[in-house]
Amino acid sequence: MATAIIYWSGTGNTEAMAQAIEEGLGSKGAEVEVFSVDEAPGDLLDNYERFAFGCPSMGDEVLEEDEFEPFFSKIEGGLAGKKVALFGSYGWGNGEWMDDWRARTEAAGALVFEEGLIQQEAPDAALCRSFGERFADF
Ligand SMILES: Cc1cc2nc3c(=O)[nH]c(=O)nc-3n(C[C@H](O)[C@H](O)[C@H](O)COP(=O)(O)O)c2cc1C
């Protein structure tokens, strides 16, 4: 089964991370599909073996609240035992949103890859690609 990458991005930084992670996974021969959160299929959990979720730090160190948070709260109950990578861009903070998000995803029983990947504003594409390559072997 394939890997699904689902992201929210306001100004394109997390979207650029999603694209580079897709390239990394693809370079390892993984079958990958990328969706922005508003176009994610409803039956995601049944149809993919690996998930990479991307969302920047928004509000005050939280996930984006209008689209991504509702999406993630709906899906998280089904993540037990699934391989999950988390990623996102941030601005001025210290990555607290990612620490909270990782703890939450682990509490849901998911197998969370590494520590997640955070990038300040515009991402380093090579770093994101290699994250994707390593996730392909997870
Ligand atoms: C409404 C709003 C709230 C934000 N809150 C935070 C924050 O709490 N901590 C932080 O580090 N960056 C924060 N940022 C900065 C974004 O995380 C940063 O610009 C990021 O690169 C945006 O990613 P995107 O291009 O994928 O939307 C905020 C940005 C906006 C627009």
Q: pLDDT digit of tens for each residue in the chain (138 aa)?
A: 799 999 999 999 999 999 999 999 999 999 999 999 999 998 899 999 999 999 999 999 999 999 999 999 999 999 999 999 999 999 999 999 999 999 999 999 999 999 999 999 999 999 999 999 999 999
Ligand 1 atom nearest the C-alpha of 15 is 26
Please give the distance, rounded to the nearest whole angstrom, from the Cα atom of residue 56 to the centre of ligand 1.
6
Cα distance from N-terminal residue to C-terminal residue, the chain: 14
pLDDT of residue 59: 96
Helix pair angle (13-27, 125-136), 10° resolution: 50
Question: Does a structural domain hold residue 46?
Answer: yes
Residue 26 lies in a domain: yes
Q: Is residue 138, in this structure, part of any structural domain at all?
A: no
Q: How far apart are CA 43 and CA 55, in angstroms?
A: 20
Pocket of ligand 1 (CB under 6 A): 9-14, 56-61, 89-93, 121
> What pLDDT does residue 1 have?
78
Would 40 be classed as within a structural domain?
yes
Write out the residue range of the structural domain in which residue 84 sits.
2-133
Q: Which of 34, 90, 100 is the pocket-test mutation for ligand 1 (most atoms within 8 Å of CB)?
A: 90
Residue 100 Cα to ligand 1 midpoint, Å, equals 16
94, 90, 35: which is closest to 63 by C-alpha?
90
Residue 67 lies in a domain: yes
Does a structural domain hold residue 49? yes
CATH of the domain at 98: 3.40.50.360
Q: How far is the CA of 13 from the centre of ligand 1 (A)?
A: 10
Cβ(25)–Cβ(132) below 8 Å: yes
Query: Ligand 1: distance of its center to the CA of 38 in Å?
Result: 19
Residue whose CB lies within 8 A of the most ligand 1 atoms, among 11, 37, 58, for a mutation test: 58
Alpha helices in 9-124 (DSSP H): 13-27, 44-47, 68-75, 96-107
- Give the number of domains in the chain: 1
Query: CA 123 → CA 7, 30, 50, 99, distances in Å?
Result: 15, 22, 22, 19
Among protein residues, the one with the nearest Cα to ligand 1's atom 4 is: 58
- Name the pTM for this structure: 0.98
